[in-house]
Amino acid sequence: MTAARIDVHQHLVPRDYADWLRTKGVVAPGGRELPDWSPDSALALMDRYSIATAILSLSTPGTHLGDAAEARGWARRVNETGADLVRAHPDRFGLFATVPLPDVAGSVEEIAHAYDELNADGVVLLANAHGRYLGDAAFDPVMAELDRRAAVVLVHPSELPGPAVAGIPPFAADFLLDTARAATNLVLRGVLRRYPNIRFILSHAGGFVPYASHRIAAAITAETGRNALEILEELSGFYFDTALSGSPAALPSLLAFARPGHVLFGSDWPFAPELGVAYFTGQFDAYPGLDETGRAAINRGNALELFPRLAKGARQ
């Protein structure tokens, strides 16, 4: 039996939220139809794949579809739903609270509510909010609040600020570029140095970051004059999840690049259907480049460093 996993990339899709998205014409965010989701179906999936605890997050498009007041209301509503679920199953679920970016004031307010009232485990931020990427100076008040809270932040991709290519759904390639753009911009704009208490998790093994890290570092060096080795050190200091990335093609680059202790298990369920969870989890479990100690660290141990409350609560 595989060690009980902590899944840092699993989504909640409350029915009322999904119904609201459909009224706005959002039926397949990222190229995937809105899935049916319930706490019971999540728990059943988790039991089948030895997932002790899932830190739940809202996926793209978040809550800001153009109306800031509406976005604030839905962010609060979804976060309250997630917090209720954690209270009901504290050993099985955690919560990355959502915020209504690009509404900065509303996001700072929601972060405070999430931590002070809901005991959230962290925050999820979309890589870009209506075309404005993480690292944008306008978002500095949000970063300052996250830094003050020593927050764990899941960076989740969204659709690129440009037209999709026919036949290529955004989740297949655009999402990887979106994450890489956000990570590059966070380093380029000095966010990691100015707000060192934030722990960022990059979805899907960081998109293109591990594979293209030296190329990214060269570009940032050319732009800023900073030392390329220092830039590579910052890039490798992100955390990375294995969602849709537990393959023998992706893992070698990820494990060669990420700092020790910075790779975490992720499933991406339910936007990744169970067939995808089974495939990538099975590939990860069978990957010969990891010994059992290394596999257990990714499955569970590394996440406990970020979420120490789970050390006692998560099932063995």
User: Going along the chain, which residue ranges are E strands?
Assistant: 5-11, 51-57, 93-98, 122-126, 128-129, 132-133, 152-156, 199-202, 239-241, 263-264
Across 263-280, b (16+ Cβ under 10 Å) vs e yields bbbbbbbbbbeeeebeeb
pLDDT attached to residue 312: 72
Per residue in 222-243, pLDDT (tens digit) is: 999 999 999 999 999 999 999 9
Max alpha carbon distance in the chain (Å)? 52
pLDDT digits (tens, 9 = 90+) for 237-270: 999 999 999 999 999 999 999 999 999 999 999 9
* Comparison of pLDDT for 70 and 311, the residue scoring more: 70
pLDDT of residue 316: 35
pLDDT band at 3 (very low <50, low <70, confident <90, very high): low
